[in-house]
Structure 1
Amino acid sequence: MAGSSFGTIFRLTTWGESHGKGVGVVVDGVPAGLSLSEEDIQVYLDRRKPGQNRFTTKRKESDTVQILSGTFEGKTTGTPISMVVWNEDQHSKDYSDIASYYRPGHADYTFDAKYGFRDYRGGGRSSGRETIARVAAGAIALKMLSELGITVSAYTRSIGDVEIQSFDAAEIANNALNMPDAEAAEKASGLLTKAMAEKNSVGGVVECVVHHMPAGVGDPVFEKLDANLAKALVSIGAVKGVEIGDGFSVCTATGLTNNDAFHVNADGSIVKLTNHAGGILGGISDGSDIVVRAGFKPTPSVAASQQTINKDGENIAIEIKGRHDPIVVARAVVVVECMTALVLADALLVGMSAKLDNVKKVWALDEK
Structure 2
Amino acid sequence: MSGNTFGRIFRVTTWGESHGPALGAVIDGCPPRLPLTTADIAVELAKRRPGGGLASTTRREPDAVEILSGVFADQTTGTPISLIIYNKDAKIEAYEPLKEIFRPGHGDFTYQAKYGIRDYRGGGRSSARETAARVAAGAVAQKVLDTGGIRVLAYTLELGGVRAQTFDWTEIDQNQFYCPDSEAAASMAARVQDIKKQGDSLGGIVEVRVQGCPAGLGEPVFDKLDAVLAQAVMSIGAVKGVEIGAGFAAARLTGSEHNDPLTPKGFVSNNAGGILAGISNGDEIIVRAAVKPIPSIAKLQQTIDQHGQPQTISIAGRHDISAIPRITPVIAAMVKLTLADFLLRQKAVTCSR
Q: TM-score, normalised by structure 1?
A: 0.95
Offset from partner CA, 1:103-158 (integer Å, 9 cap, x none): 00000000000001000000000000100110111001112212321100000000
Q: Report what 2:278 is aligned to.
A: 283
Unaligned runs of 5+ in 2: none
State the distance in 1 between where 2:220 and 2:264 align: 24
Write the distance in 2 (CA, Å) between the matches of 1:359 and 1:123. Answer: 47
Q: Is residue 352 from structure 1 mapped to residue 350 from structure 2 by the alignment?
A: no
Distance between the aligned counterparts of 1:79 and 1:22, measured in 2?
22
Task: Specify the alignment match of 1:365 in structure 2.
Answer: none
Query: Counterpart of 1:338 in 2: which secondary structure?
Result: helix
Aligned-partner Cα distance in 2 for 1:115–1:263: 55
Distance, in Å, in 2 between the alignment partners of 1:35 and 1:110 is 41
2: distance between equivalents of 1:250 and 1:53?
A: 35
Given that 2:55 and 2:324 are in contact with CA atoms closer than 8 Å, whether structure 1 keeps it comes out as: no
Please state how far the C-alpha of 1:173 moved relative to its aligned partner: 1.3
**CA distance in structure 1 between the partners assigned to 2:189 and 2:290 by the alignment:** 18
* In 2: Cα distance, 1:321 partner to 1:117 partner: 24
Partner in structure 2 of residue 27 of structure 1:
27
Query: Which residues of 2 match residues 20-169 of structure 1 at below 5 A?
Result: 20-169=20-169
Larger Rg: 1
**Aligned match of 1:268:** none
Q: Which amino acid aligns with 1:235?
A: S
AA paired with 1:340? V
The 4+ residue runs of structure 1 with deviation greater than 3 A are: none
- In 1, Cα distance between the equivalents of 2:311 and 2:77? 55
Partner of 1:363: none
Paired residue secondary structure (2:214): coil
Partner of 1:88, secondary structure, is coil
Larger mean CA deviation between 279-288 and 182-191 belongs to 182-191
Structure 1 counterpart SS, 2:222: coil
Tell me, yes or no, if structure 1 residue 204 matches structure 2 residue 204.
yes
Structure 1 residue matching 2:170: 3-state secondary structure? helix
Q: Cα deviation per residue 1:56-105 (whole Å; 9 max; x = unaligned)?
A: 00001100000000011111000000000000000111111111110000
> Which position in structure 2 is the counterpart of 1:222?
222
Partner of 1:317: 312
Per the alignment, residue 302 of structure 1 pairs with 297
Aligned residues: 353
Partner in structure 2 of residue 337 of structure 1: 332
Letter in 1 for 2:333: C
The amino acid across from 2:302 in the alignment is Q
List per-residue Cα deviations over 1:164-217 (Å, max 9, x = no partner). Answer: 000111111111111110111111111111110000000001000000100011
Q: Distance in 1 between matches of 2:227 and 2:151?
A: 20
Q: Which residue of 2 aligns with 1:235?
A: 235
Secondary structure class of the residue paired with 1:322: coil
Aligned equivalents of 2:124 and 2:9: distance in 1? 28
- Percent identity, aligned pairs only, is 50
User: How far apart, CA to CA, are the structure 1 residues paired with 2:172 and 2:214?
Assistant: 26
CA RMSD of aligned residues (A): 0.9
CA deviations 1:206-251 (Å, max 9, x no partner) are: 0000001000110121100000000000000110000000100000
Gapped runs of 5+ residues in structure 1?
A: 266-270, 361-368
In the alignment, residue 306 of structure 1 is paired with which amino acid?
Answer: Q
Partners in 1 of 2:80 and 2:308 — Cα distance?
46
| Kept after mapping to 1: 8 A contact 2:54/2:193 | no
**Residue in 2 that maps onto 1:187:** 187
Q: Any conservation in 2 of the 1:234–1:241 contact (CA below 8 Å)?
A: yes
Q: Is 1:15 matched with 2:15?
A: yes
| Counterpart-to-counterpart distance in 1, 2:85 and 2:50 | 14
Q: Secondary structure at the match of 1:352?
A: helix
The answer to whether the 8 Å contact 2:152/2:211 transfers is: yes
Q: Does the 8 Å CA contact 2:10/2:344 hold for their aligned counterparts?
A: yes
- SS where residue 353 of structure 1 aligns? helix
- Contact 1:95/1:322 (<8 A) preserved: no
Give the whole-Å Cα distance in 2 for the aligned partners of 1:289 and 1:144. Answer: 18
Residue 305 of structure 1 aligns with an amino acid whose one-letter code is L
- What secondary structure is seen at the aligned counterpart in 1 of 2:99? helix
Q: Give the alignment partner of residue 328 of structure 1, picking from 312, 317, 323.
A: 323
SS in 2 for 1:359: coil
In 1, Cα distance between the equivalents of 2:76 and 2:352? Answer: 23
CA distance in 2, matches of 1:9, 1:33: 17
Aligned partners of 2:308 and 2:113: how far apart in 1? 14
Alignment partner of 2:156: what SS?
Answer: strand
Alpha-carbon distance in 2 for matches of 1:143, 1:198: 43
